[in-house]
Each structure stands twice: as C-alpha cells, then as structure tokens.
Amino acid sequence: MRTLRGRLDLCALNTATLGYQCAIEQTIEAVARAGFGAIAPWRRELEDRDAARIGQRIRDAGLKVSGYCRSTYLPAATRERFLANIEDNRRALDQAAALGAACFVMVVGGLPEGSRDLGAARRQVQEGTALLLEYARGAGVALALEPLHPMYAADRSCLNTLAQALDLCEALEPADAARTPMLGVALDVYHCWWDPELPMQIARAGRARRLLAYHVCDWLVPTRDLLLDRGMMGDGVIDLAGIRHQMEQAGYGGAVEVEIFSGDNWWKRPVNEILAVCGERLQSSC
Amino acid sequence: MRTLRGRLDLCALNTATLGYQCAIEQTIEAVARAGFGAIAPWRRELEDRDAARIGQRIRDAGLKVSGYCRSTYLPAATRERFLANIEDNRRALDQAAALGAACFVMVVGGLPEGSRDLGAARRQVQEGTALLLEYARGAGVALALEPLHPMYAADRSCLNTLAQALDLCEALEPADAARTPMLGVALDVYHCWWDPELPMQIARAGRARRLLAYHVCDWLVPTRDLLLDRGMMGDGVIDLAGIRHQMEQAGYGGAVEVEIFSGDNWWKRPVNEILAVCGERLQSSC
C-alpha cells in the first residue's frame, strides 16, 4: 500500500469539505498551498465561471482535477423532465471536459416526487446513464457512478451498493480488453463501509478497471444527521486503512479524496484549519 | 395475496409502537380490544413479571405472540463479556418459550466499543448465533435474525442485508427437508426496502422456509432521526403492498406486524389513537 505520509500530492480535496466558504479561485489557492495534489470542485462553484479558465487556474496552481461533482438526478415523474435532466448532465459533462476532470461523479437520484417505485427509478437510471455514456465518450470524460448509502435511497440515490453499480456498468459497457472503460465507480467509504460484499466487489471493480475515484471521511457514532454529520478521518469507526489497502490491491492508483459534509462542526471552522486537519489525518488515519 | 381488510386478526402489534406508555397488562388489553390477532412484547416490559403468566394473559385475551424482542447484542470487546451476552440471551429465550412466542427476534449488535473491525464483529455474531441455536432448539423457540438497515452497522447490527442473514442461516443450519428450520429471518421493510436484491432474497428465504416474521412501518422523506423517525404505513415511500406480495408469494403466512419508533410523533399520542391508526393503515396501505 502507498504511504500517504509526506505525500499529500497523492491526495485530493473535495471542495464540499470546506462548506463553500469562499469562491473557487480562493479555494484553489488554499488547497494548493496546503499541499494537496488535486481538487474536486462542485458545479455550484462554477456558475458564472468559464470552466476552461478555472481548469487552467487549477493546473497553474499545480493541481489536478480528481473529479467533478456531480450529476443532476436522473429519475423524474415525466419524460420531459427526465430528458431535461439528461440535457443538464450533458452541459455538466462539457464543463468536466473543460476542467480536465478525471471523471464526472454521478449521484443518480432517488424516487421521483410521489413515487414508491424503486424499480422504475432504477430503470430510469439505467436509461439515463446509457444516454450520458454516449455523450461522455464524445467529451472524453469518464462517468463515475457513486453508490450512495442506502439511507439515501429515497431522495438522493437509488444506486446503493457497489455490486449494483458494477452490474450497471457491465450492462451498459460490457468488458472489452481493447479499450479503457468510460463507465466506472466512485467509491466513498461513507456509503460502502458497512457492505459485507465490499472486499469482493472492490476486487471485481479493479479487475474491470472501473475504480475511478476513492473518497474518504468517517462514520461517527452517534451520527446525528443523515446528511450533514460526516466525520473527519480517524474520528469514527471506518477501517480506512483496510479499505484503502483493498482499493490499491485492486489496482487503484488515483487520488485519496477527502469529502466531508459537516454542518455543525467542520463547516463552521476556517478553511485553513479544515485543510490542515484533513492533511494531517490523511497522513495518520487513512 | 391475502386481504387485510377486516382481517386485523392476521396482524400483530409490536409494543414498541406504543412508546411503552403503559404496563404490559394494559397494553395486552388495548391491543386485543383494537382487534389485532397477535402482539410482540419487549423484554423491558417483562422485567419483574412472570413470563408464563404474561403468556397466559395474552392467550386469554385471544392473542398470539408473533415474536419476542429482542436479543442482547452479541459482539463484545472481551471474551467474558461475549459469553455474558450469550447467557443473557439464553435467559431471554427461556422467557420467549414461556410466553409461547413464535420466534425470538435477534438484533445482533454492531462494533464493540473502540473497534473498527466489522469482520471480527460478524465472526462473533456467527459464533454467538451458533451457541444460541443449540439452546433455542432445546427451548423450542425459533431464532429470527433481523438484518438492520446499514445505517445501524456501527452501533446496533452488523447484520445488514437479507442475503447476509440467509448466508448465516445456511452456514449454521444447512438445509434439511426432514426438519423445520429453527433459524430464520425477521424481515422489516424499514431495514430492507432499498435492497436491489430484496425480491430475489425473499424468494430464497421462502424456499428455505426461513421467513419467520414480517414487520411494517414506512420510510419518511425527509427522515429526521436515524432511530426514532419511522413513519406510519402510508406516510412514506415504501412499496408495502409490493413487498408483502413478495413475502406471501414466497410462502409467508405469519402475522403482518407493525413496529414504529417515532419519538416526536406517534409515541406522543394516546395508545388508543395509535392502535386505531395502525389498524386502519394495515387495511388500507399494506
């Protein structure tokens, strides 16, 4: 397993971790100054910005773009709205390409308003991902399906396990040794750490060359909020070293990206403090 | 699929739904008066009570005992504590037998204090369940392993999917057509509704005659608390009719049991109101 000690250049900072306290230009400078090797911006930070210029600015700061967050939810109550969601994602893929992002992170969405039909939502995800995969190939940006924790199945993602995400990858883009997959997965420990099949499915994803991103934070006990109470690495119960070992055994060589949603704790702290603690914990607890 | 309209005798009330507002004797009377066919009491209600007498009282009220809740968590930081947990559960199994319970509900526990080793906790669960299965056979009470939602993996249950529970059943009690399984599962829609494998695993459980209990409530959007914000059937997004259909197709003929933890809503209402709404929703929304 790679050591991260003294190697923040192997690590990325997902900007959500900073609670969007400053503009993307300042965030880029702060992340570079803290020693990280990559950054993963969010679409909200690029509103009213030229993605190509932000991409240049990121490169000028010595950073890579480990991923671009994230897709508009796919499932919708009407066909018209579904197609609008696809179109929205095509524009986001254009931005991801202009940024030079390693992948476009797909959080696929849950049940449309008023629906209890999880199967139908999942079929929409499959159709929508197929449509976007075509476009992503043209744009040269890989799609990273991020399975979300089952507690988000209703309202954020009906894609809930790594096995399910890999089944979808294989259905839409059958294995072909001659070409690099453009459809893969973003594995976030927060969403997947509990899964009894995790080691097996990480190995499967590695064999299929579909491990596109690796996100870390921690699971706090107790967890006080379903969305905004993620922990700093080391403060919770996830076996972070164990999971990273599995990832790297499976061939993952990309960034170790910190992504923490923490409304009542980390987001209330100054950006430079958050970055310093993230950097320290990446080296000591991941 | 059975109709539940006019058939509350097919339904059970898990007493946790009432927020433990009154003593078990009063709860038994209220549940019987509301028309339910069965009740599932909790151990805390039987402290300082004679289980055999409570069992008789339940039968005298015309009720069955659909299950007895629930096991002491198995995993522990020390061997001594682990064995004490097993012993605790043996005493609970004695009570379940005295009550005449259809099954003893096993919520297996999560990580021991200070541990990040989910695999080790799961191995303790396997060992502990094996020990208890021997005892349960002697007591004549089936063990119903209840997989809990992955959001409880750290602190309540490292058994998180129906597939995982069935794997454990098969490891400890291989299929044998000549005898009735004494190890099976309690399926609670709250914990399992999101699982892409649910239909397949329900069918598998049915073939193995391991469907011992079926619990209903609903998943609210938004969910404001990880533990105490379960919804009344019909108020959330779970396809209750669809899942019950799968259960009954798989051969389940036991009670449809309501179990709702609702600190800020239902538990604040009078017992008779809760029972009336549960009865109505069982008939209209399940």
Q: How confident is the model over A186-240, as pLDDT tens digits?
A: 999 999 999 999 999 999 999 999 999 999 999 999 999 999 999 999 999 999 9
ipTM above 0.90, yes or no: yes
* Backbone φ, ψ for residue A47 (5° rounding): -60, 140
pLDDT of residue A177: 87
**B196 and A238: CB-CB below 8 Å?**
no
Q: What is the average per-residue pLDDT within A100-126?
A: 98
**Mean of pLDDT values over A62-82:** 98
Average pLDDT over residues A103-122: 98
Residue B34 has what pLDDT? Answer: 98
Give the CA distances from residue A220 to residues A192, A234, A263, B156, in Å, rounded to whole numbers and listed in that order. Answer: 14, 10, 14, 13
Q: In this predicted structure, what is the pLDDT of residue B177?
A: 87
Indicate the residue of A117, A153, A239 with minimum beta-carbon distance to B118: A239
Spell out which residues of chain A touch residue B194, defining contact as CB-CB under 8 Å.
118, 150, 153-154, 158, 160
Asked whether the beta carbons of residue B193 and residue A118 sit closer than 8 angstroms, the reply is yes
Q: Which of B118, B149, B236 sits opposite A150 (nearest CB)?
A: B149
Record: contact B155-A221, CB cut-off 8 A: yes
Interface test with A, best of B115, B118, B145 (most A CBs within 10 A): B118
8 Å CB contact of B117 and A239: yes
Instruction: Kindly give the confidence (pLDDT) of every residue in chain B, 286 residues in length, as a single tens digit, with 9 standing for 90 and above.
Output: 999 999 999 999 999 999 999 999 999 999 999 999 999 999 999 999 999 999 999 999 999 999 999 999 999 999 999 999 999 999 999 999 999 999 999 999 999 999 999 999 999 999 999 999 999 999 999 999 999 999 999 999 999 999 999 999 999 999 998 899 999 999 999 999 999 999 999 999 999 999 999 999 999 999 999 999 999 999 999 999 999 999 999 999 999 999 999 999 999 999 999 999 999 999 999 9
Measured on CA atoms in the order A30, A32, A34, A36, is the torsion positive or negative?
A: positive
How far is the C-alpha of B172 from the C-alpha of B175, rounded, in Å?
A: 10
- What letter represents residue B226's amino acid? L
Confidence of residue A122 (pLDDT cuts 50, 70, 90): very high
Confidence at residue B20, expressed as pLDDT on a 0 to 100 scale? 94
In the block, residue with structure tokens 């193995």: B208
Q: Nearest chain A Cα to B153, which residue?
A: A194
Query: Taking a C-beta distance cutoff of 8 angstroms, is the pair B144, B104 a contact?
Result: yes
Residues in CB range of B156: below 8 A, 6 or more apart = B73, B107, B109, B110, B148
pLDDT at residue A112 above 90? yes
Provide CB contacts within 8 A for A186, sequence distance 6+: A67, A103, A105, A106, A144, A145, A146, A212, A213, A214, A215
